[in-house]
Chain A
């Protein structure tokens, strides 16, 4: 447990992706089985401990510490698991300078995971207390974070898989390809990566296929591309999903829904899975966009968010926000892998498939017809009159796919492009700044900005990119020279009617927000330009943003 704890501790402070990757690779290549496998399971969300709840931690610590000292400490630290880990009375450590000799060996990660697997709820408090007695502060912290399911250390499943792939000099997608048949502690996976065994056979009847991704289109590229080589579709503002179905060795039919990163999100979308059963999906996998459709209209992304990032879903939410998949590719049909076919061939098979299943939860992503790039540009500017109709508000651009493109995992350059609609823009006033992380930790690089509501500036968002390195230096200097207040790491800068810095903020959309004072939340805001030519009085009014939300409804 100590090595895992040390890894978590280090990851929790490391902002750079490359450094995190190095830390992970170092851990996985120098830690023995089965510990490293359970660590991998922790990072990929394959572990869950349903009985370990915050109330259990409170009870355990209350039995061991003075309530007032606990209250003062919790108030100071601000995190329950961390407070308990730090305060836990440790036997043998209290003597000044003396080291505890007779402490039992601390449990390994495997001991913990395997024991918890069959520990009854009633026995959990005693079991947990025993471990907490044996571990040091970092070990206790890691244990409590692990079992309460709140690691929050910035390691995605994808990053962990990338790290283990590096051990065997494999591509992350090679791991992805077999992943869903594997179970913790992944002995077969590590044996394969270390060259000691063949690749594990995926036994997942409804596997995830690593998706093909697109590049953003640079306008200059048009000159080199022929319109006749491409077809176009609307780019919908939902999330990319893969619906996969198949049969296991025993002949049982299985259906699954995956996110773009291969996370199994089936449990949160029973409505989609039921529809796959009803529709007679067969042993088929499709690639599409998950949307919420109410009364035949695609809802904005903010509505879809009600269904996202949930482990399970209530019947009420399923009825209120019905999920829908707009299908744009067919990856396999009745066990036949179609990914080596050209796009137009897959498309023909997809159209036939969609006609056959005819289910209201699934529909076909329609093509946008065009002959010249100018014509496509007009469609992109005005999707409503180019066929998107009432759903135009949920269109965030167009996708371009080469007619002869085969379906390859990853992001190959050339076959697919996304051409997003132009971002919205607003002029806002810089209000607060905070220092960045990692390489930018010495710069003020997280900026909170506001617009006018009457005579008052209200914050509407926070941006930490979009600017060039030169602009960052300029912004940093402005913050240092114009600080009027400090709140811990945050600096408030001058923002008066005629004194302050105006920033042009580009963003992709707006949601209503109950968290922000202004009532709106921007999606993907970034600093497009520093507007030295403008004074704060020229910045925009909140009404402009409110009107934009209204239009999106």
Chain B
């Protein structure tokens, strides 16, 4: 079967005609398979949702228990049959519960990788490469200038600044699902033992991570009256809060921002960040290239990000490659997207 007959592009997103389902649809559909809980991939109002247990729980936290009429858990590695199409979820290493979805029918296997990373993350299962004929990859950081340093090194920079400016509050902008908790866990791994403070927007999700056993240590929500008292503490908040009235009340804060975009100095300066931390939940250039080769695919479809460079690279390696213009996916690392938990 031709790959383009197995998954086709529609206004609602990637659609599988033989199985009659969508993957990460951007509007409400009768049947959706969801790779991970970020709001642009996981929307409310579908007829039924197949996703990992963690992703379903995250959707319920964000949208309420009635976010879909019916839901079904997909455990990593289990095979599901939908209209003769074999479905399998593989860990994507992006955030807690994130999965790549393998779709196989009549001898053609496509892996929709959603968003993924290869670097170790103490808050989620590591990426597992899956062999396939067609690999659909993200391209958020698909330029050779994006090579993320080890996250531990960036955390060390944060702690060094914390030692140098012990009287200032270090505000760390980090996306509320995944990044915030990963930064907390990395701080613990680096030996940081003080309580970590967080903006109220990430409270429920952080509680969920704690219930799932994420090693985050003692975490407190910032109360309105606390701002002035948090000199010398580390506070995690949504990136948008860095430029908000909310951040003005802290004592002489150092604005840090944990994102892959912080690799580009002009971009860091533009956002007014004093301490850019290159910590990303997306694969960097080297990891994208290595992953494509590991899947042993013959064809790559490249979506949301810098498609041109990755398509060019894949073609130069003798692979068939084309951009896949999926609309409606944001970039949670950019920090200018609205964080809906904050509302």
Contacts and interface: CB of A to CB of B under 8 A. Distances in A.
Given A72-B309, A77-B264, A86-B145, A435 B273 contact: no
Interface string B152-165: 00000100010011
Contacts of A183: none
B270 interface: yes
B265 A437 contact: no
A70 B145 CA distance: 9
A93 B286 contact: yes
A97 B276 CA distance: 22
A142 to B, nearest CB: 12
Given A72-B309, A77-B145, A93-B286, A442 B248 contact: yes
A78 B266 contact: yes
Given A13-B276, A69-B309, A19 B165 contact: yes
B145 A13 contact: no
A390 B300 CA distance: 75
Interface residues of A, number: 41
Contacts of B243: 435, 441-442
Interface in B39-90: none
Contacts of A70: 144
B129 to A, nearest CB: 10
A6 B143 contact: no
B38 to A, nearest CB: 23
Interface in B131-182: 143-147, 149, 157, 161, 164-165
Contacts of A471: none
A199 to B, nearest CB: 29
Given A96-B118, A435-B243, A442-B243, A69 B144 contact: yes
Interface string A57-69: 0000000011011
Contact of A14 (B248, B274, B306): B274
Nearest to B118: A96
Contacts, number: 99
Interface in A76-115: 76-79, 82-83, 86-87, 90, 93-94, 96-97
Nearest to B153: A136
Interface string A430-453: 000001111101100000000000
A73 interface: yes
Given A76-B145, A86-B145, A442-B247, A489 B313 contact: no
A6 B164 contact: no
A94 B165 contact: no
B269 interface: yes
Contacts of B147: 86, 90, 93, 137
Nearest to A74: B145
Given A12-B269, A22-B164, A66-B312, 20 more contacts: A10-B275, A22-B165, A69-B143, A69-B309, A69-B312, A70-B144, A72-B306, A72-B309, A76-B143, A76-B145, A76-B306, A82-B145, A82-B264, A86-B145, A86-B146, A87-B144, A87-B145, A93-B286, A97-B118, A435-B272
Q: Which 6 A-B pairs have the closest CB atoms?
A: A441-B272, A86-B145, A73-B145, A87-B144, A72-B309, A442-B243
6 contacts: A13-B269, A13-B274, A15-B274, A82-B264, A86-B144, A94-B290
Interface of A: 6, 10, 12-15, 19, 22-23, 26, 65-66, 68-70, 72-73, 76-79, 82-83, 86-87, 90, 93-94, 96-97, 136-137, 435-439, 441-442, 488-489
Interface of B: 118-120, 143-147, 149, 157, 161, 164-165, 242-245, 247-248, 252, 254-255, 263-266, 268-276, 286-287, 290, 306, 308-309, 312-313, 316
